[in-house]
Amino acid sequence: MTNISLAKSYITKAMKRMNILDILLKEQDYSDVIREAQEIVELAQKAMLRQIGIDPPKLHDVGMILIE
Mind listing the pLDDT tens digit of every residue in the chain (68 residues)? 678 899 999 999 999 999 999 999 999 999 999 999 999 998 998 899 889 888 877 766 666 666 66
User: What is the extent of the structural domain holding 8?
Assistant: 3-67
Q: Are 43 and 17 contacting, i.e. CB atoms less than 8 angstroms apart?
A: yes
pLDDT at 61: 67
pTM of the predicted model, to two decimals?
A: 0.78
Q: How many domains does the chain have?
A: 1
- 43: Cβ–Cβ under 8 A, 6 or more apart, which residues? 10, 11, 13, 14, 17
